[in-house]
Amino acid sequence: MHIDAHLSKISRLERSRSRLDPSADFELWFWAAMQAGTHALNAALHHAGLSSESQAFAMQPGVYLVPQAEGTLVPQLLPPGDVLHLGRPRIEGELPADLKEMAHAMETIESYRDPCVREGKPATPEIAAECDAALQQCLSLLRRRLSEHA
Amino acid sequence: MKPHDHETCAARIERTMGKLGADDHELLIEGAMLAAAHRLNARMHRLGMTAVDEDLIHTYLLTINEYRRLSVADGESMKSLAAIEDLRPAFVRGDYPGGAEAAQHALQLLAVIRGRAQTSET
């Protein structure tokens, strides 16, 4: 997607997340944070010229759903645009320092995905705070990149 | 996880989904996917199709042989989970118009899976 569309998605997900309790609703509270962070990462990758901005929606690494003029969606094989997660698909080239920090923050968030959402490990307030801090770091790094390299 | 634990996880996610509105379509679709996977895992464990330490995460990560095998056991639920997953590129990761309607469809598909799973509870 385009950078503006990623920013709009981040706003929507953050609004949804604000309606949820980090403890009682951890699974979807967490999932919104993870998705918002992934949109931030994609916006930063596009901005750095490491992946393509286009109106194409990631299905699986290398395959994107592309809207057609007649209103349909068609899967197409395309070079890297939006990543599903860092490394899917792999991005060629050296990541700038701020993107490495964002990637590290996303790894922190994603480390809790399977244990706490799929495997029933209780999410403590400390885990929620760590995930929230990692997301805020991601969003802050994106804002700084967009303002300093406008 | 054991079937009962999957059901507890699914019920938690479904409770959270009740706090969301139609304009939260991304999280409704994601919640439907996560809850549906828990419900389907509970069903497959109860049917003896999968071991409690062999949970399905996404239908598209299964081998074709395994997808076919589980579809023989409950094709309707497998098809329904795959259909929820197919909504994600356009409406969760993407901003294609019609997200609210897609979320309603995801909720209907989750209800199908939940209904079938509850018939296999003991």
Report how many domains make up chain A. 1
In a domain? residue A70: no
Residue appearing with tokens 């060629």 = A92
CA A136 remoteness from chain centre: 12
Interface with chain B: mutation pick from A21, A41, A57, A73, highest number of B CBs within 10 Å: A57
CA B101 remoteness from chain centre: 17
Q: Which domains does chain B have, with CATH numbers?
A: 3-119 (1.20.120)
Cβ <8 Å between A35 and B94 = no
The Cα B22–Cα B90 span in angstroms is 17
* Span B81-92, pLDDT tens digits: 999 999 999 999
A20 phi/psi in degrees, rounded to 5? -115, 155
* Span B56-108, pLDDT tens digits: 999 999 999 999 999 999 999 999 999 999 999 999 999 999 999 999 999 99
How does the average pLDDT of chain A come out, rounded? 95
pLDDT for residue B120: 65
Residue A49 structural domain: 3-53+95-148
What type of residue is A65? L
In a domain? residue A68: no
Four-CA torsion B100, A110, A148, A46, nearest 10 degrees: -60
pLDDT for residue B121: 64
Is the bond preceding residue A67 a cis peptide, omega within 30 degrees?
no
From the number of C-beta atoms within 10 Å of its C-beta (0-12, 13-18, 19+), residue A73 rates as middle
Residue appearing with tokens 């996610």 = B13
In a domain? residue A118: yes
Interface with chain B: mutation pick from A20, A28, A35, A73, highest number of B CBs within 10 Å: A28
* Span A55-114, pLDDT tens digits: 999 999 999 999 999 999 999 999 999 999 888 888 888 899 999 999 999 999 999 999
Within the 70-109 window of chain B, which residues sit less than 8 Å (CB to CB) from chain A?
Answer: 89-90, 92-96
Maximum pairwise Cα distance, chain A: 49
CA A29 remoteness from chain centre: 14
Cβ <8 Å between A20 and B19 = yes
Is residue B37 pLDDT above 90, yes or no? yes
The Cα B54–Cα A128 span in angstroms is 27
In a domain? residue A23: yes
A147 phi/psi in degrees, rounded to 5? -80, -35
In a domain? residue A89: no
From the number of C-beta atoms within 10 Å of its C-beta (0-12, 13-18, 19+), residue A41 rates as buried
**Are A58 and A83 within 8 A, CB to CB?**
yes
ipTM: 0.95
In a domain? residue A85: no
Single pTM value for the model: 0.96
Is residue A47 pLDDT above 60, yes or no? yes
